[in-house]
Every structure is written in C-alpha cells, then in structure tokens.
Amino acid sequence: MNLSFGQSPWLLVLLLIFAVGASWWTYRTTIPEIRPLLKWFLGGLRAVALAIILFLLFEPVLERTTTENQEPTVAILVDESESMGLSDSLAGANGQRLNEQLQRLDASLNGLKPRFYSFGSSLRSLDSLESVSYSQGRTDISGALEALTSQLQNESLKAILLLSDGLYNTGTNPIHSAERSPVPIFTIAHGDSSEQRDVRIVQVISNELTFADTIVPVLVRVRNDGYPSQNLSVRLFSGTQILSQKVVPLPASGTEVEVELSFEAVKVGRNNLSVSVSSFQDEVTNRNNAQSLSILVLDQKKNILILGGAPSPDVSAFARALKQDETAQVELRTQAPNGSFYEGDLPQDLSELDLIVSIGFPGKATSPATSASIASVVSDGVPLLFVLDRGTDLNAVQRDFNTLLPASLKTPRASFITGSMVLAPLADSHAIFDTGERSDNATWNRLPPLTLTESRWESIASSTVLATSVIRGVALGDPLFVVARVGQTKSAAFLAHGFWQWTNVPEDLEEESATFKAVLENTIQWLYATDDNRLVRVEPSEQEYAEGEIVVLKGEVYDETLRPVSDAALSLQVTSPDGQVFPYEMSSVGNGRYSLDVGSLPAGSYEYTATAARNELILGEDTGFFSIGTRTLEFRNTKADFALMAQIAARSGGAVVAPEDVSNVLSQIESIVDLSSTSRLVKAQSRLWQKIPFLFLIMVLLTAEWFFRKRFGMV
C-alpha cells in the first residue's frame, strides 16, 4: 500500500504539531478549573478532530496493489446482417446451416470463458448464440472488431472468432482493424463464393438538390451475373407514376451497364422517387432490383428589383442581362428628376424581394425617406448588389448604406477617372469567378476601360475583395469588386461604372463579354443563395433507413447570439406516410445538443417539424424528412468474400477455420494462442478525503467535546 498527498507531507506534519499545540494551549487553564485528566481528554478530542481535518485537506490517496487471476476469454463475433440470411440459403454443398454451425461452435469451446456478440451496424452483447437474428440492414466489420476489443480490454482476451460472409457496406476496410487487433482473429466464412444468378442495381446517382422546372438526370448502374443477353427495363417512379423508362440490352454476364434516366422537377419540395429494373426467373433475390432516392426541389424564381438613380447605360445593360434569366422576375424602377419613378411606384411589400440591384441609387433625386426605406429592407436581410454611378448621392450612401455595404465610404469625392480592373488573389478560388474556365487578368484588360471613383473606400472586416483598381497601369489596391456577409445579409458592390460597354462589344471581344455575363450571373446566384443560419437544427442520423433500423434524430439549439441553449423544450412532430402525427420530446445531452431515439418504424417517407421553446418563448423551428425502405445495401453483392475473411485472419495472426472443422476450433486456437490462466496486477485508489466515515468521526469527536464542556459548565 502507498499513501500519497496532494501537498507536501512535511507541511502536514508541521500543521499537525501546531494543531496539537493549539489544543493543549486551549485547555492549559479552564473556567471553572477541572482535573488535569479531563483537560488531557478534552484537548485530545479537539486535537484528533483537527488532525483528521488537516489530514483530509491534504487530499490523501491510498493506493493498493493486488494480484488478480484471470481465466482466458474467447470472443465469438457473429454477423447478423440480412446478407447472412441470404448466405444461409446459399451455404453450398457442405450443408452447414448457420444454426448448426453456431451450436457446434458453442460446444467446441466447452471449458473456456466464451463471450458472445453479434453485429450489424453496431456491436451487441448476447447471453447465448440462440438469440442471433439476421435482420440488420448494414454490416460494419471494422467497427465491431474495434468496439469488441475496447469492451474487453480489462479481460484476458485471447482470441476472436469471427463468423461472417465478409460483405461489409459500412465503416472502413476491416483489414486495417485486423492489423491493429491485440489478439489473433480466427475467421469462419459463411455462404457461397461462387457467382449467383442475379440482376441488381449497383448504384443510383443523382443530385440531392435541384431547382424547379429543370431536367434532372438520374444515372442507374445495373450489373448482370449469370443471365444471357435479353432486354432490360429500367424505370423511374414517383409513387406509382412512371417518370422515365428505358429498355436496353442486358449487359454480358459479369459486367455492368449505365442507364441514364431523367425527369422534369415540377413539384417544389421533397420528391421521394424509386428506381426499379426487370426481375428475371430464378434470381437469388429480388430485393436488389429496386432502390429509392430523395431529391429536394427548390423554387428558383427570384424576385429582383432594379433601382436606377437616373437613366443610364448601366441601368439598361444590367436590366437587359437580368431579364434574360428565365428564373428571375425582374422589376425596374428608374428615378425621374422630381424623385418619382418612370415605371410607377415601388412594390408594396419590399420584404418579398429576393434581391435589390441599385445602380446609381440613391441618386441626386432620391429623398431621404426613400433611401432610408430601401436601407431598412436591406438591413432586414434582402441581399443588395450596389453599382456606383456618376449620379450616385455619396452623402446618402454614407448616411444610410455604409453599414450594409461590403466596403465603407470614408472620403466622398465627386471626381472620376478612367481605369481598369485586376483580379485579387481570392478571386481565383471564389465561386463567383467559377465560369467554367478560370479567367485571368488578360481577359479584363482586353475589355473597354471603366470609370473609377476617386472617393476613398475601405473593405470591411468580413468582406472578400475580388478585384481592385488599376489607373494608368499602376495597381492601387483599392477595392473595385467586393462581396461580404454582414450578419444575415449578403451584399456585393461594383465601385465603378461603364459596365454597359462590356455587354456591347465587337465580335472579337464576345468571349470576354460572355465571361463578364457569367460573373454577373454567378454574383446574382451567390447573393440569392441562402446561408444556413438556423437557430434550431434537427437532422436524422441517416436520410434513409432500412426496415427494422433504429431511427435516431439529433438536434442543436442556439440563441440569437449563437450561444448553445441546453435548457430548451425541443418538441418534435413526426408525420407518417398516411398522415398520422406522432409527438416526441427530444432530450438534452448538453452544450445545446439534443437527441431522440424514435425506434423502428414501418416503411415509408416521414416528415418532421421541430419547435424549440424556453420560458414559453419560441426560439425557432426546423423541418426535415427521412425515409424507411427496403434498402438494398445488404443485397448489392450476393457472393461471399472468402478472400477478405482470409486476409483478416492472416493480418491479425489468426487462421481460417473451415465450416466443417468448427468442432476442432479449440485445437486450432491452442496451436497459436496460449490459453492458460494469467495473473495481473490491479491497482486500486481510494480518495480518503471523499470517504463519509471520516466526516462522521469528525462530527462525533467535536460533538463529544461540546457535550463534556457543557456537562462541566465550561465557558
């Protein structure tokens, strides 16, 4: 045993001497005077109590080392995924069914300390091998091996017996986990390694996000094993409606074919679709002949308001370019000298706008009230594209828009000078300048010169400068094209004018003009695209679950300053495919995070709405979806992977056990592993200052002293 302290024990000895001395000094003289024996008794009670208190204040830790005898442990790890059920029907000529193998395996380890586990997507402890069910929708061999060794790290684990078909579809390659295994792994491969007659969907590729009124391609990869050439029908469904179908020749046995389907995205919102291929006679399984997919269709109609401070070529050029976008609804308002607009009054509800493009606005004719109203709309979150013009009222810009623009106007000057634009270093990696082929400065030098302001602008801290100004061949570094996110508002600014020249060029500059138009289009799209600034976020652990899988949803809640909120009431309403609504409450797991285990649900597409509240105040909402279907992960490959099982055994130092040799598995293990009992040193620590008996002892000592002092009438 070893006793240690949190502070120097010599200091403790000095304090103990002082405590004993103080106790003796206290009872040197008493009122009334008592016998010396009683003085020593009462002083001793106080001294012992003080000594114990000081002893505990020094945080004593008592360490004990004992020897523990450990019996050898062998872990049996059984794959209980759905593919194992299929493998059981394909066990081959040896006729060894899974239940027979498990019974023989259990009997062969008689006399040892076997631990039983099964796994699919996660590890599960078993009381016996009789409770194994082959219903898991995923196989994670690597995760199971690592979780097993972690759970048994304090036991004398000698070997692992892995029974699987070797078909994993989740997690990393199990060979790497086998190399890190602290004990040998003995593998028992189950199933049939020969190719089965099967036509199956290997992969479905499509965009998860698209816009309405666009044609969405869906690429389907289909594999044929064992069938002669014939017609193959591939269909894309929305419910029972066929959206697209093609009939193609079935590829040669052992090869794949890619079939491209497509559909028009009409329905805005979540579109739950499915792909199916023809079923053929005597297929090993039909569960891999269909696969579901989900695509979110966004409404891409953009409501854009162009504000011109006065008629100008730039106003006409920008309006003409934006109206060519079929997804945009563009309204133009150009101010007259009296402050009115030539095209009519401003729209009633400016908050419905998706983007404001101001060209020379606010201008000389703009009233302070109109300028302030537009600035208020922008500050509420409507994106702004600001284009400087000769007629721009710089004082109004400085007054109303300085905090909203990506560049701040420091020194207004009414003078302009001819110059050009040069790309900043960050432009090359920004999405706005992703025009198919990256443009360089030569592109912009070939275009007509711009008119640059001599006012002094400074980019704000959160902005990104994409282009700067060049005058008479000298790069000034002043911002010319700059973008930023200010709070939840996006803004962009062209601090020059004359861009109309870039849209009206001779034939030899059409390529450069097309590049500018692409940059302008990307700028509009960047401003229009919303950021994820949700204060309440709830997402499922998977977008698609297999039947029988546990549905888990995770959430996060933040306040308006984006600090995590851990004491919110986060309620959830899940709507089933038939319209039934099920209420749930998510549990807080700390630091603004929440979790909910919904359990297993019937097949179908589910939607949910989450609402977070604290003290009856709604903090925010979120919506989402998940689907449960007969996912084909476990049936995308029907041929057992005996080679992988052999590599797992070899890399870990184990061996392959043939199914017919399961009864002799113990002798195979003993040929590699020493199964004798082992002993280990076990260290145990006791934090004495946390022990309740010491507290009771201190209370008894001080109470006894107080009792006898009262008994003898001492003051």
Q: Is residue 498 part of a domain?
A: yes
Lowest mean pLDDT among 35-39, 422-426, 523-527, 659-663: 659-663
Do residues 515 and 545 share a domain? no
- Residue 632 has what pLDDT? 57
More confident residue, 499 or 689: 499
262 Cβ contact partners less than 8 Å away, ≥ 6 residues apart: 215, 216, 217, 218, 244
CATH number at residue 604: 2.60.40.1930
- pLDDT at 301 (0 to 100): 74
Residues 360 and 471 occupy one common structural domain: yes
How far, in whole angstroms, is CA 153 from its chain's centroid? 30
**CATH number of the domain to which 493 belongs:** 3.40.50.880
pLDDT digits (tens, 9 = 90+) for 232-290: 999 999 888 999 999 999 999 889 999 999 999 888 887 888 899 999 988 878 878 88
Give percent of the chain above pLDDT 90: 37
- The pLDDT value recorded for residue 548 is 67
> Residue 116: is it exposed, middle or buried by C-beta count within 10 angstroms (0-12/13-18/19+)?
buried
- The answer to the question of residue 565 being in a domain is yes
pLDDT, average across residues 418-440 = 82
88: confidence class by pLDDT, cuts 50, 70, 90: low
Q: Is residue 502 part of a domain?
A: yes
Looking at 634-714, which runs of residues are DSSP E strands?
678-687
What's the pLDDT score for residue 531? 58
Asked if residue 146 and residue 159 are part of one domain, the reply reads: yes
Six token digits for residue 633: 């992960």
Identity of the amino acid at 299? D
Q: For residue 605, name the pLDDT band (cuts at 50, 70, 90).
A: confident
In the chain, the amino acid numbered 265 is A
From 497, 450, 454, select the one nearest 309 (Cα to Cα).
497
Residue 681 located in a structural domain = no
Same domain, 280 and 228: yes
Residue 658 has pLDDT above 60, yes or no: yes
Q: In 3-state terms, what secondary structure has residue 672?
A: coil
The answer to whether 138 and 546 are in contact (CB under 8 A) is yes
Better-scored residue on pLDDT, 604 or 311: 311
- Write the CA distances from 409 to 102, 400, 405, 527, 658, integer angstroms: 78, 11, 9, 21, 80
Sheet holding 587-590, edge to edge: 536-540, 551-557, 593-599, 587-590
Confidence of residue 705 (pLDDT cuts 50, 70, 90): confident
Contact assessment for residue 359 and residue 335, using Cβ atoms and an 8 Å cutoff: no
- What's at 695, amino acid-wise? L
Residue 97 confidence (pLDDT) above 80: no
Instruction: Render pLDDT for 461-507 as a digit per residue (tens, 0 to 9).
Output: 889 999 999 988 888 889 999 999 766 678 999 999 999 999 998 98
User: 585, 570 in Cβ contact below 8 A?
Assistant: yes
DSSP string, 571-601: EEEEEPTTS-EEEEEPEEEETTEEEEEEE--
3-state class (DSSP) for residue 54: helix
β-strands 617-629, 604-614 pairing: antiparallel
Report the sign of the C-alpha dihedral through residues 623, 624, 625, 626, in that order: negative
- Other C-beta atoms lying within 10 Å of the C-beta of residue 700: 12
Band the pLDDT of 148: cuts 50, 70, 90: very high
Task: Tell me which of 542 and 334 has the higher pLDDT.
Answer: 334
Q: Distance between CA 338 and CA 367 in Å, rounded?
A: 10
The residue ranges of DSSP E strands in 8-130, in sequence order, are: 61-70, 73-79, 113-119, 123-126
Both tokens assigned to 83: 């593919």
Q: Are residues 467 and 506 in the same domain?
A: yes
CA contacts within 13 A on the Cβ side of 520: 24
pLDDT class of 547 with cuts at 50, 70, 90: low
Which residues does 352 contact at the CB level (< 8 Å), separation at least 6? 303
Mean pLDDT of all residues belonging to the chain: 86
The torsion region of residue 226 among left (phi > 0), alpha (psi -120 to 50) and beta comes to: left
Number of domains in the chain: 5
The domain of 513 spans 303-528
Alpha-carbon dihedral angle through residues 309, 313, 314, 320, given to the nearest 10 degrees: 110
| Co-location of 660 and 567 in the same domain | no
| Residue 463, domain member (yes or no) | yes
100 & 113 share domain: yes
pLDDT greater than 60 at residue 563: yes
Cis peptide before 362 (omega within 30 of 0): yes
Q: Which of 436, 437, 438, 417 is nearest to 427 (CA)?
A: 438
Residue 152, domain member (yes or no): yes
Structure pTM?
Answer: 0.53
* CATH code, 267: 2.60.40.150
Within a domain: 557: yes
Domain co-membership, 152 together with 255: no
Output the pLDDT for position 713.
Answer: 81
**Is 226:196 a contact under the CB 8 Å cutoff?**
yes
What does the alpha-carbon distance between residue 142 and residue 140 come to, in Å, rounded to a whole number? 6
The C-alpha atoms of residue 238 and residue 243 are separated, in whole angstroms, by 7
- The DSSP output letter for 346 is P
- As given in the structure block, the two tokens for residue 248 are 């193609």
Tokens found for residue 627: 């689907």
Residue 181's CATH number? 3.40.50.410
- What is the distance, to the nearest Å, from the Cα of residue 242 to the centroid of all Cα atoms in its chain? 34
> Which of 101-105, 183-187, 328-332, 620-624 bottoms out in mean pLDDT, i.e. has the lowest?
101-105
Report the chain's terminal Cα–Cα distance, integer Å. 44
Q: Does residue 288 sit in the same domain as residue 370? A: no
Residues 629 and 646 in one domain: no
The CA distance from 136 to 710, in Å, is 74
Instruction: Say if CB 492 and CB 459 are below 8 A apart.
Output: no
Identify the pLDDT of residue 439.
63
pLDDT band at residue 312, thresholds of 50, 70 and 90?
Answer: very high
Give the dihedral sign, CA 84/87/92/95: positive
Taking 90 as the threshold, does the pLDDT of residue 4 lie above it?
A: no
Which of residues 308 and 283 earns the better pLDDT score? 308
Q: What's at 493, amino acid-wise? A: A
Q: Identify the pLDDT of residue 92.
A: 45
Q: Are 451 and 482 within one domain?
A: yes
Angle between helices 313-323 and 510-528 (to 10 degrees): 70
Q: Do 331 and 480 share a structural domain?
A: yes
Residue 244 to residue 262: CA distance in whole angstroms: 6
Residue 309 lies in a domain: yes
